Each structure stands twice: as structure tokens, then as C-alpha cells.
Amino acid sequence: MLGTIRVSGAKNAALPAMAAALLTDEPVTLENIPQVRDIETTRKLLAAMGAEVELGYGRAQHRTTICARNLTSPEASYELVKQMRASSLVLGPLLARCGRARVSLPGGCAIGARPIDLHIKGLEQLGAKITQDHGYVEATADRLKGGEISFEKITVTGTEDLLMAATLADGESVLHNCAREPEVADLAELLNKMGALIEGAGTPTIRVKGVGKLHGAKHRIIPDRIEAGTFIIAGALTGGDMNIAGCEPAHLDVLIAKLHEVGVKTAQSADTVRVMGDGPFKASDIITQEYPGFPTDMQAQYMALATQAEGTSVITENIFENRFMHVSELMRMGANIRIEGRRAIVRGKTPLSAAAVLASDLRASASLLLAALVAEGESIIDRVYHIDRGYEHIEEKLKGVGAQIRRIGEILPKKAAAPSRV
């Protein structure tokens, strides 16, 4: 694949930014919003609470303005939470702004159990009264009180939820063992523009001085590092020469260092990574970890590359307990992979042959797509609605750099598919 491919705004930064708009009665304008299904689900979620959500069109199609002046119903229904687990991000902001929130419990999903107990515990430490009934979390608080929270385990949306809640609490909060993902720092930047007093976002300890009120703001969402990483691997796998433009190379350091070990050549400028994938590739192990470690959201895509590397790559998934759903489909395409608990042992290099495969979640579908790009023959990937949750117009972007790809609609009836709450 040859040419330039542009990266969209980060879905996982856009989702908390939209939830942050609930903290003020003034309009919040967000730019570089990706056109993906999870954003549309969030729009519905906020609109159901009474917020006005304007999505741009034409040249402003990546902009949204949210005004949460009249929050008539501070609730996130099961109908929406089951479509998108990140809906639980509204819990903290609703409680802080309205003094009450009712949010459906997300339950498990395709990649693991994914509880929200750490969000709940943290909010209780800020003085919230929380009960769980009929599958819903009901939270109330007159006004949250600043406090000290130490996360037992690092959680990205948990950190974001508590950070948002603490902005309107009475007094200072200190959050320990926080997620350091760039998406957390981006959220803090938006909140500070809204008048919050946050220090230390992007480090393990975040300090928040509560304020009485937040105001409107305008903010540009950071580029999607996972989308960028997926395209870098696409360039490498296909022996291409591609520019991945509009990204933030600093957010890709660990991935790029690993790809260099594998034998992928890259060069970078301020906002572009050039990938030259002329191989041969050699196997290298990865262990997924919280940022700045190797991202779990790139594990499946890396596995597609590992099938084309000489030798044995051991891929250890440390964040989610069930994130190997792509393995059996990759094996159907000719990959040699064995799963041992949290480890997948990939023996390469094996030629891949085209097959009809089934996507099980967002990043698994990206991995199958990458494998299909190098497989001999024509592959059909079904349930691609998973990929639309987090990749903007992926087939058009890939077509622009030479992939032969087209969307042909659903093959299996939609209702036969289990919902994914990634």
C-alpha cells in the first residue's frame, strides 16, 4: 500500500470529552470528533438526558457542540449502556452536576468481565451514596466532597470518571495510581479550559481543586493513536511505503520501538509517521500493559504481524482476560497460534489464505482486516459493524492507499449477533 492516510480524532478521548460537557450549563464545542458509531451512541445518550447535541455537517462534520443546560433526566439506560460500555463515563459528571445519577450496570462484554466497581468505590469516597438495584447504579450526593482516592487497579475510564466528578467537589481531591493514557491528559486539558483546577494528569497522581461552577469551552481532540498504529502495521504487513499523517508520534513510542525490533522501518516528523515495510520480519514478544506500556488495543493487530515474522512470538494479554477472540479466526486463515491462559504463542512465518471470518470486537476486527490484506485471495469479514464503532470510514481510507476492499453489507442477520460492549 502506497501513499498517505490521515488519522482521525481519538474515539477514546472524544467519549469522555462529550461526557465532560454534562458538567456545565454552557456550550462545549469539540473538534476533531471521529465519525464512528460510539460517538453516535454517546450523542443519543446525552440527548436522552435532555442535552442539546449538535453534530456538524459538511466542512464542520468533525465538530460537535453540546449544551447541557436542561438535564431533565440524569440517566443512562440499559438500552444504550449495553451498546457501549463507556456510557458509564456519565456517572461522575451527572452526580457532580445534578446531585443524582442512575446508570445501568454494563455487565461483561466480548473481551472480559469489565466491572465498574472502582468507579463506584471512588465516588463513595467523595461522599456519594450508591445503591445497586435491578441492574442499575443509583447515586446521590448533595455536593461531592474532595477526598483521597487510591485506585486498587489502574483504570482508564475510572480515572476519567473520578476526575470529572472531583472538578465540582467541595475541596481538594488527590487521585493516586491513575491511568496515564494521553486520553486522560486530553480530558484534563478540556476540563481546565472549562475552569477546573487539575494538576498532574498524565502522571500517576492527579490533584484537583474543586470549583463551584464550570463554564463552556472549545477543544480539539487528540489524534487516535490506535488507529494510527493499526495503519502503521498495515503498511508494514503489505510491504508498503505509507505516510500516516495527522498523528502524534510521541504517543506511539512503545509500539514503534517494538516494530523496529521486528524489522519494520519507520521515519517520523512532527505529525507524520512514514512506514516502510520491506521485511523480513523477526518474531518479538509483547506484554500488554497500561500506558506507557504496549497497548492492549494494539494486541490483536500486532498478532496479525507476528504471523508474518520468522520465529516464535509470545503475546501476553495482561489487561483483559478474554481478548484472544481473533485467534481462532486467524488460525482459519492459516496462522499457527496456541493459547496458554493469558499467552498466545504465534509461530511464523505462515502464509495466510483468504477465508470468510467473523469479527468479534473492535480491535479483533482490525486484526482480521490486516490479515486479509496479506492473505492469498479474497477474504470476507462479517459483523464489520464492530469496526465501525471505532474506525472512521476505514474501507475508504485503505482504498485510498491501494487496498482492494469494499463493503458489501451484513451477511448474517444482525439480530443473531451478540451485542459487544467494548
Residues forming the site for ligand EPU (CB under 6 A): 12, 15, 86, 112-119, 153, 155-158, 179, 183, 296-297, 319-320, 362-363, 390, 422
Give the separation between CA 86 and CA 249, rounded to whole angstroms: 26
Other C-beta atoms within 10 Å of 14: how many?
Answer: 26
Least separation in angstroms between residue 267's CB and ligand EPU is 27
Least separation in angstroms between residue 361's CB and ligand EPU is 7
Nearer to ligand EPU, 15 or 309 (CB): 15
Least separation in angstroms between residue 276's CB and ligand EPU is 27
Least separation in angstroms between residue 261's CB and ligand EPU is 22
Least separation in angstroms between residue 125's CB and ligand EPU is 13
Give the separation between CA 206 and CA 176, rounded to whole angstroms: 7
Helix and strand counts by DSSP (H, E) for the chain: 14, 22
CA 360 to chain centre: 16
Query: Which of 214, 140, 143, 205 lies closest to 173 in space, CA to CA?
Result: 205
Residues 6+ apart with CB under 8 A from 244: 5, 7, 228, 231, 232, 235, 272, 273, 274, 275
Nearer to ligand EPU, 12 or 284 (CB): 12
Give yes or no: 109 in active site. yes
Least separation in angstroms between residue 164's CB and ligand EPU is 13
Choice among 67, 109, 178, 247 that is catalytic: 109
Nearer to ligand EPU, 84 or 96 (CB): 84
Which H helix or E strand runs over 231? helix 225-237
- Whether 161 contacts 188, CB under 8 Å: no
Sheet harboring 343-348: ordered strands across?
Answer: 286-287, 311-316, 343-348, 336-340
Sheet harboring 265-268: ordered strands across?
Answer: 2-6, 241-245, 272-276, 265-268
- Whether 123 contacts 92, CB under 8 Å: yes
Calculate the alpha carbon distances from 355 to 235, 380, 398 in Å: 21, 6, 19
Q: Give the catalytic positions in this structure.
A: 109
